[in-house]
Chain A
Amino acid sequence: MSDQAYNFAYLDEDTKRMIRRAILKGVAIPGYQVPFASREMPMPYGWGTGGVQVTAACLTPDDVLKVIDQGADDTTNAVSIRKFFVATAGVAVTEATDQATIIQTRHRIPEAALTAGQILVYQVPIPEPLRFLEPRETETRKLHELEEYGLMHVKLYEDIAKHGQIATSYAYPVRVEGRYVMDPSPIPKFDNPKLSGNAALQLFGAGREQRIYAVPPFTHVVSLDFDDHPFSPSKANHACDLCASDTSYLDEVITDDEGGRMFVCSDTDYCASRRAGGHVGALGAPLATGKAVQ
């Protein structure tokens, strides 16, 4: 594909302006789902078309972009979106969380604390937290308008009734700044506390559902729960087998067909930085000095 064939960051300027207006509205009303005229993108729905449009609307030529998929910089989804913006915007890319100005993410918040000025763009499949209980869009809008959120707790009630505890482990509903109930996208509930009071601007894009919403920096975000079943962010009770971190969110990796498994950080950049710093996990080898992190 030739660079000249595309406007900067693929979308035309009018579209980007339209999306920016939606973003500004979302920032002004934290947690409120702003409808926007989602465009066809050169990738299938479910691959992050919403996030890509938000990223495209935010990108400037000076930005440094990082893209992660379930915390990893090296999976197909992350690699292809990164390549897409290299090709259409020519921006610099990085895998280092602290180097990036914009981070597009699918289903994770990086382990490293984000800083003021950074933008975290989430890919969202279903933005409506009430959807599975109330199929009518007209009704869910009304429920948001009138702050009738009893239904959200019905879902959690059903969880406890069925499983003895709140079994929702990802896309765990939150209340933003005491007003809108929001689906934080399918991030593990382990990441929920990081939504609140975060220094970075958090933007959420749902391409197929044509919604954009936002959590501005330092916004109060509370995970819904019951007094006698309080919210608890959980992770595998293990330490990373590569970098020995016992505070990061872990993926379980099956290593053979005889029950062999290892737990590794889902955030690949975080894990690599720790190993570069000399931390070694139970199954890890020290990182060869001189081998640079890409």
Chain B
Amino acid sequence: MTDLSHTFAAAADKPLLQVKNLTKRYGARIGCADISFDVYPGEVVGIVGESGSGKSTLLSCLAGHLRPDQGEVIFETAQGARDTVLMGEAERRRLARTDWAYVHQNPRDGLRMGVSAGGNVGERLMAIGARHYGGIRDKAIDWLGRVEIDAGRVDDRPSAFSGGMQQRLQIARNLVTAPRLVFMDEPTGGLDVSVQARLLDLLRGLVREMGLSAIIVTHDLAVVRLLADRLMVMKGGHVVEAGLTDQVLDDPQHEYTQLLVSSVLQV
């Protein structure tokens, strides 16, 4: 057991993602400014803040959907550390469909609504060269099972699915190629509370089993408490507080975090 924990620690010694002084402006307005942090293998980092705090801008810059004005986003690729901001688009998109995954808040943005569930899951496999129909289909069915969608729905279109199922399908579609870093934008937003819990459980299990790292943007403090190892609190484009998730939530130091935490309704 001690041996195992040592290998765990050794594998996690090198950051998977290093963000350095990332800044994105919209004209004179700040999207996000001077953001620096690391993400280690197997680690889940939460980013919270209210609408307009810059958390979505930050996520878009990290995932390569937006080009930051300044800063570096260094990812540990199979060939060594690379600044993804300076990468060519072809290479960055290749990264986006192999080592990275992006789970949109609205599953409609992350799914092809006119393509069957199996086709949706299989697309990433086909994009990286899978050419065996039976193999692709088996893998798609396996993944539907892992996100608790009945194998009998493999040929149904996502438009026939409930919101929670669509979100789970989106996760399956993203994780089928075993990415190492998953970006999630409000993954449980817009879902019923009971469906949220199911999704959280699923995500936690997948993160642990696959050794995934994840960056989760949300405004739901309960979600980050259960999912995130570390937490960053954003306001006005800046990170105002960062640390261990439960420490930031239970002993918030910054004025804004205290306000945020005390504003949550208790059940």
Closest to A162 in B: B155
Q: A157-B133, A226-B132, A226-B133 are in contact. Are A150 and B127 (CB under 8 A)?
A: yes
CA distance A151 to B115 in the complex (A): 10
* Cross-chain contact B131 with A157 (CB below 8 angstroms): no
| B-side contacts of A141, CB under 8 Å | none
Cβ of B116 within 8 Å of any chain A Cβ, yes or no, is yes
Query: Chain A interface: which of B118-126, B179-187, B235-243?
Result: B118-126
CA distance A225 to B132 in the complex (A): 9
Cβ of A154 within 8 Å of any chain B Cβ, yes or no, is yes
* Cross-chain contact B134 with A154 (CB below 8 angstroms): no
* Cross-chain contact B123 with A151 (CB below 8 angstroms): yes
* Cross-chain contact B115 with A158 (CB below 8 angstroms): yes
CA distance A153 to B124 in the complex (A): 11
| B-side contacts of A148, CB under 8 Å | 93, 97, 127
| B-side contacts of A153, CB under 8 Å | 126, 131
CA distance A280 to B125 in the complex (A): 51
Interchain CB contact (< 8 A) of B119 among A142, A161, A228: A161
CA distance A133 to B120 in the complex (A): 12
Q: A146-B89, A157-B122 are in contact. Are A229 and B112 (CB under 8 A)?
A: no
Closest to B123 in A: A154
CA distance A161 to B131 in the complex (A): 14
CA distance A229 to B132 in the complex (A): 8
Least Cβ–Cβ distance between A122 and chain B, in angstroms = 27
**Chain B CB within 10 Å, residue with most, of A133, A148, A161:** A161
Cβ of B137 within 8 Å of any chain A Cβ, yes or no, is yes
* Cross-chain contact B123 with A161 (CB below 8 angstroms): no
Mark each residue of chain A from 119 to 161: 1 if its CB lies under 8 Å from any CB of chain B, else 0: 0000000000000010000000010011111110110011011
| B-side contacts of A133, CB under 8 Å | 112, 114-115
* Cross-chain contact A157 with B136 (CB below 8 angstroms): yes
| A-side contacts of B127, CB under 8 Å | 148-151
Cβ of B4 within 8 Å of any chain A Cβ, yes or no, is no
| B-side contacts of A147, CB under 8 Å | 90
| B-side contacts of A151, CB under 8 Å | 123, 126-127
Interchain CB contact (< 8 A) of B122 among A146, A154, A162, A229: A154
* Cross-chain contact A158 with B116 (CB below 8 angstroms): yes
* Cross-chain contact B126 with A154 (CB below 8 angstroms): yes
* Cross-chain contact B137 with A161 (CB below 8 angstroms): yes
Cβ of A14 within 8 Å of any chain B Cβ, yes or no, is no
Interchain CB contact (< 8 A) of A154 among B94, B115, B132: B115
**Chain A CB within 10 Å, residue with most, of B116, B119, B124, B125:** B119
Q: A133-B112, A154-B115, A161-B118 are in contact. Are A226 and B131 (CB under 8 A)?
A: yes
A-B residue pairs in contact (CB < 8 Å), sample of 14: A133-B114, A146-B90, A148-B127, A150-B124, A150-B127, A151-B123, A151-B126, A154-B112, A157-B122, A157-B137, A162-B116, A162-B155, A227-B131, A227-B133
State the A residues within 8 Å of B (CB): 133, 142, 145-151, 153-154, 157-158, 160-162, 225-229
State the B residues within 8 Å of A (CB): 89-90, 93-94, 97, 112, 114-116, 118-119, 122-128, 131-137, 154-155
